[in-house]
Amino acid sequence: MSRVLNSLILLALGILVALPLLFIVLQAIFPQLGAGSWQGAFSALPRLLTDDALLPMGFGTLKVGLGVVLCSLIIGLPLGVLRGLFRLPGSTLWDLLFLVPFLTPPYIAALNWTLALQHNGYVQQLTGLDLESLLFSASGITLVMTINIFPVVYFAVSRALMASGQRLALVARVHGASAWRAFWHVTLPLLLPALAGSALLAFTLA
């Protein structure tokens, strides 16, 4: 039964993920594929590489992606550590609230931010602040995407800590390490795989 289920899952992933990506790659290699022709393979590549906008767009994408990763780590790491190491009031509510970005389709989130921060949007109507220039800038895009993506880091860090617990850190404390030293030399290294994976996922999403 489990083998059949795994096969169905792989088939669904192949249809929903791999197949569209394959068509994108084929369209990039064969520009006339949409017209039913396999001719002119790689003919669009020279025009793409000589486009003056390629490097600015590439660096802009890289800057936003790295900015989102950095900001997500700054927000998600301490919140994840607090959630994973301490019994906080309303911790389950934290998880539910941070799940909201994952449950919101990206186009809905983009529409919400646009309606809120555009000229004469909800924020300007309520506060008088016109934040349209912030929204439609690299900094604004980084901020908006960070708010939607940092829960990836939060959940990765908090679940990693909840799984490993504080046993090794407590051993370090027993042997004379301070709380900060135990965290820096024991807890943080244990979090590196979760941090690396969540940072990569955050960059990919951005």
Pinpoint the alpha helices (H) of 14-44.
Answer: 19-29
Per residue in 121-177, pLDDT (tens digit) is 888 888 888 888 888 888 888 998 999 999 999 999 888 888 776 766 666 666 677
User: Are 200 and 156 a contacting pair, CB within 8 Å?
Assistant: no
The pLDDT value recorded for residue 122 is: 86
User: Are 68 and 201 a contacting pair, CB within 8 Å?
Assistant: no
| Model confidence band, residue 1 (pLDDT cutoffs 50, 70, 90) | low
The pLDDT value recorded for residue 71 is: 95
> What percentage of the chain has pLDDT greater than the value 70?
93
User: Are 199 and 147 a contacting pair, CB within 8 Å?
Assistant: no
| Model confidence band, residue 75 (pLDDT cutoffs 50, 70, 90) | very high
DSSP string, 79-139: HHHHHHHS--TTHHHHHHHHHHHHHS-HHHHHHHHHHHHSTT-HHHHHH----HHHHTSHH
Q: Is the pLDDT of residue 184 over 90?
A: no
Taken as a whole, the chain contains a residue count of 206
> What percentage of the chain has pLDDT greater than the value 90?
15
Retrieve residue 191's tokens.
């979090």
Residue 68, C-beta contacts closer than 8 angstroms, at least 6 positions apart: 142, 145, 146, 149, 202, 203, 205, 206
| Model confidence band, residue 82 (pLDDT cutoffs 50, 70, 90) | confident
Per residue in 27-43, pLDDT (tens digit) is 888 888 777 778 878 88
Residue type, 38: W
User: Are 96 and 103 a contacting pair, CB within 8 Å?
Assistant: no
